[in-house]
Amino acid sequence: MTGAPVLALRGVSKRFGAVQALTDVQLEVHAGEVVALVGDNGAGKSTLVKTIAGVHPIDEGVIEWEGKPVSIGRPHDAQALGIATVYQDLALCDNLDVVGNLFLGRELKRFGTLDEVAMEKRARELLDTLSIRIPSVRIPIAGLSGGQRQVVAIARALVGDPKIVILDEPTAALGVEQTAQVLDLVERLRERGLGVILISHNMADVKAVADTVAVLRLGRNNGSFEVATTSHEEIISAITGATDNAVTRRQARIAEDAK
């Protein structure tokens, strides 16, 4: 990637009581780049995105936004910079319709009252440009499938015109078709010049859409790879921390058995 990163973490550390969740972590995200953040359970991925999103302020280190150090103390600070986060638990309002959810907390107004027409128009435009298909923008969220809710949650993140979108395991609960929909959507975000941080345990997803893979292991960086030039095994071994690990042993065993 060329040019300065939009978002950069330099030496970020975060401690919860006795747990050192993050130690001296580096991360860079450029415009139009999809960075996959991978690592085993408890590696600190969710903690890292929460520090970026302002849920947990960092203890040490610097967060740089477009080259300048910034302090992100509250979720509001992150939003104001242009960082939108879609959490693992989507948190949509089941009783509100798609338009209501997309604009929740930043409704468009006209003479002090809700401008439903303008909101619906913008919602349709947004969903169209993302090629999102849902039965109706006036249907309550509860009436949508898991994948549709996921794309609505992502679209919601885009209403504020962010520069960086963080997706925490967006495909974890989805079927094949719906996963493909979400991955398509991630690619469309990249085309629009947004930086995307994608957390996933699914290597196939990562290889399909990511440009760069950043590996976390026990709260530390354990390598950053260009997806195009890195093999599956290299990433796995970075995640597990050794070339000799459960995954390679299993593959070797299967290869043995096959003989």
Partner 1 sequence: MSTETPTTPTPPAVDPRLLVRKEGLAGYLDEFGRKVRSGELGSLPVVVGLIIIAAVFQWKTGHFLNADNVTNITKWIAGPGLIATGVVFVLLLGEIDLSLGSVAGATAAISSVLAVRQGVNEWLAVLIGIAAAVALGALHGFFFSKIGVPALLVTLAGMLAWSGLQNLVIGKLGTVNNLNDGVIANLDTYFLGDGDILWAWLAAILSIALFAAGQLLDARRRTAAGLPARPIAEIAMRTGVLAVIVLVVAYVLNQDRGLPLPLVLFVGIVAITDFVLRRTGYGRQIFAVGGGIEAARRAGINVAWVRTSVYMISAGLAGLGGLFIASQQGSADKGLGGANMLMNAIAAAVIGGTSLFGGRGKTWSALLGILVIQSITTGLDMVGAEQAIQYMITGAVLLAAVVLDSVSRRTQKSNGRG
Ligand X SMILES: Nc1ncnc2c1ncn2[C@@H]1O[C@H](COP(=O)(O)OP(=O)(O)OP(=O)(O)O)[C@@H](O)[C@H]1O
**Contacting residues toward partner 1, per CB under 8 A:** 75-76, 87, 89, 91-96, 100-101, 104-107, 109, 112-114, 117-118, 120-121, 124, 127-133, 135-136, 139-140, 142-145, 180, 183-184, 187-188, 191, 208-211, 227-228
Q: 46 vs 148, which CB is nearer to Mg ion?
A: 46
Residue 212 is a binding residue for ligand X (CB under 6 A): no
Given a contact cutoff of 8 angstroms between Cβ atoms, the answer to whether 182 and 154 are in contact is yes
In degrees and rounded to multiples of 5, residue 98 shows phi and psi of: -60, -45
Q: 109 vs 232, which CB is nearer to partner 1?
A: 109
Q: How many CB atoms lie within 10 A of CB 25?
A: 23
Q: How far is the CB of 101 from partner 1 (least distance, A)?
A: 8
Q: How many whole angstroms separate alpha carbon 115 and alpha carbon 118?
A: 6
Candidates 26-34, 35-43, 77-85, 109-117; binding stretch for ligand X (CB under 6 A): 35-43
Angle, alpha carbons 201-202-207 (nearest 5°)? 120
In order of 17, 47, 62, 114, 238, the CA distances from 20 in angstroms are 8, 11, 17, 46, 20
Closest to 219 (Cα-Cα) out of 32, 69, 60: 60
Q: How many whole angstroms separate alpha carbon 133 and alpha carbon 98?
A: 12
Closest to 182 (Cα-Cα) out of 212, 139, 145, 215: 145
Q: Which does 96 bind (CB under 5 to 8 A by kind): partner 1, ligand X, Mg ion, none?
A: partner 1
Q: How far is the CB of 46 from ligand X (least distance, A)?
A: 3
Residue 45 is a binding residue for ligand X (CB under 6 A): yes
Q: How many whole angstroms separate alpha carbon 84 and alpha carbon 232?
A: 29
Window 1-30: contact mask with ligand X (x via CB under 6 A): ---------------x--x-x---------
Q: How far is the CB of 23 from Mg ion (least distance, A)?
A: 17
Q: Which does 39 bind (CB under 5 to 8 A by kind): partner 1, ligand X, Mg ion, none?
A: ligand X
Binding residue for ligand X (CB under 6 A) from 29, 46, 52, 197? Answer: 46
Residue 44 is a binding residue for ligand X (CB under 6 A): yes
Residue 93's SS3 state is coil
| H-helix or E-strand spanning residue 225 | strand 220-226
Q: 18 vs 176, which CB is nearer to ligand X?
A: 18
Given a contact cutoff of 8 angstroms between Cβ atoms, the answer to whether 195 and 6 are in contact is yes
Q: Which does 187 bind (CB under 5 to 8 A by kind): ligand X, Mg ion, partner 1, none?
A: partner 1
Residue 171 is a binding residue for Mg ion (CB under 5 A): no
Residues that bind Mg ion (CB under 5 A): 46
Residues that bind ligand X (CB under 6 A): 16, 19, 21, 39, 41-47
